[in-house]
Amino acid sequence: MNFAELIQIIKGLFTASGKTWVFISEKNYPWRDVLIYFTIPMFFLSSYAGIFNVSPELEHFNLPPNWMFLVIFTGTVLAIFLSSWMITAMTPRFNGEKSFDKVFSLISFSYTPVLFASLISSLHTVLQFMNFVGLVYMVFLLWRGTGLVLGIPAHKQTGYSLISLLILFASRVVISAFLASLALVLTGNAQDILNQN
């Protein structure tokens, strides 16, 4: 993967998602390439924006901005790894191709609209609706990609996509909450939270 291909993929996911998923499937990028060229840089920017627009599962934690950044960034990347592993394991049951590389690419690139939406919504509270728009388009991209990237039969795509999303979001909530709790202990803010109750 190079910078030109990455720009082509990002643009294509918004303008011609079908062709872009086929392109990603044919390239069959190793997960390390996707991690280095896309996942880390994009989630770094999105997590920085997340400091100003904290996700619901973390809003009750009173953490300094640098710790909140680490929790959001690390939690999301670890959730992608964990969910990719779990989703890869279940893929053969849906008659799809068992490939960690392709599942990692599918999940990472499906996040593209959410990442851009979080950057836009961090600019002003009026733009918060963009988070919902990004989430809806992410679901569509994931659903479309399951057939084109992993070869999931059309009649099983919806079920596979719903289970995959459940695994992905559950992994993110659990890992982020664990990291936030650990950060509270390390920063000494845990006692303050307990005293408020």
pLDDT for position 181: 81
Rg, C-alpha atoms of the chain = 17
pLDDT for position 143: 96
User: What is the DSSP track for 104-123?
Assistant: HHHHHHHTHHHHHHHHHHTT
pLDDT for position 194: 43
Q: What contacts 73, CB < 8 A, 6 or more positions away? A: 43, 44, 47
pLDDT for position 56: 47
CB distance 110 to 148 below 8 Å: no
Residue whose C-alpha is closest to residue 99's, from 110, 88, 107: 88
Residue whose C-alpha is closest to residue 56's, from 131, 159, 155, 140: 131
CB distance 3 to 11 below 8 Å: no
pLDDT for position 193: 43
Distance CA 132, CA 183 (A): 28
Distance CA 49, CA 120 (A): 9
- pLDDT per residue, tens digit, the chain (197 aa), is 788 889 999 999 999 999 999 999 999 999 999 999 998 888 887 776 656 555 544 444 566 667 777 888 888 889 999 999 999 999 999 999 999 999 999 999 999 998 888 778 777 777 778 889 989 999 999 999 999 999 999 999 999 999 999 999 999 889 988 888 887 777 765 445 445 44
